[in-house]
Amino acid sequence: MGFSRMKSFDRTRGRSVKLIRYSKHSAQHNSVAVALVARHLHDMMDPSERLRAMGLVLPDPPAPIGAYQAVVLRSGLGFVSGQLPFVGGTLLRTGRLGGEVDVAAGRLAARAAALNILAQITCALGGWDRLLGLCRLDGILATAPGFTELADVMDGASNLLLEILGPELGAHARSVSSAMALPGDAPIELVCTFATRSASGSAGGDRLAV
């Protein structure tokens, strides 16, 4: 009698454990499925929709601070002059990385400069439709002696560009170098090259964008 009860109890306990395990597995599976659907929907959005979903707004493109153009378009390529981390007309941070500016603050400055790059691109092209994709992103970082985490700081810009433009338009080659100082004591300056189609729909077209 006692053996039968124990056997029955063990079977019931085993079913309970299995149900709990199945329930946990099902919840994990559903969580992964939801994440995949969300990523697919995000990838299907255009850059304007992604910006809204992220709660971001492109700033007004900063005016050049010297005798040069903000953007030049040549034969299907666009060249964005160096962009600093201006936010509302003021540098988000000043100083050198590894000195007055730590990596986390440097990444935020990189994001601000990347938003200014996108603002320059949309201003030059009149929107997103003519953008075929980024080509190359170059970063110059003002660094204190011994600072080597340049790639980590640049990821702040690269990741944001990929989030906003998506994996096709946002993919880019990259380089980064260091300098003793940058204009306005900014910690970072970004330069970008992108591919564009002409207003008629074909790749190409030469013009300047102030």
Question: What distance lies between CA 141 and its chain's CA centroid?
Answer: 18
The more confident residue out of 194 and 10 is 194
Residues 36 and 57 in one domain: no
Same domain, 40 and 106: no
CATH number at residue 62: 3.30.1330.40
Residue 13 CA to residue 81 CA, distance in Å, equals: 68
In this structure, the answer to whether residues 127 and 152 fall within a common structural domain is yes
Range of the domain at 64: 53-209
Domain co-membership, 20 together with 83: no
Q: What is the pTM of this model?
A: 0.78
The reply to whether 171 and 124 lie within a common domain is yes
Q: Please tell me the predicted confidence (pLDDT) of residue 62.
A: 97
The reply to whether 147 and 182 lie within a common domain is yes
Indicate if 96 and 165 belong to the same structural domain: yes
35 and 62 together in one domain: no
Q: What is the mean pLDDT of residues 2-12?
A: 50
Same domain, 154 and 201: yes
Residue 22: predicted pLDDT: 56
Can you tell me the distance from the alpha carbon of 32 to that of 189, in angstroms, rounded to the nearest whole number? 38
- Clarify whether residues 64 and 25 are in a common domain: no
| 138 shares its domain with 70 | yes
Split into its structural domains, the chain has a count of 2
Quote the pLDDT of residue 70: 98
Q: Do 131 and 199 fall into the same domain?
A: yes
pLDDT in tens, 9-50: 455 556 565 555 656 666 666 655 444 444 544 456 999 999
> What pLDDT, on a 0 to 100 scale, did the predictor assign at position 34?
46
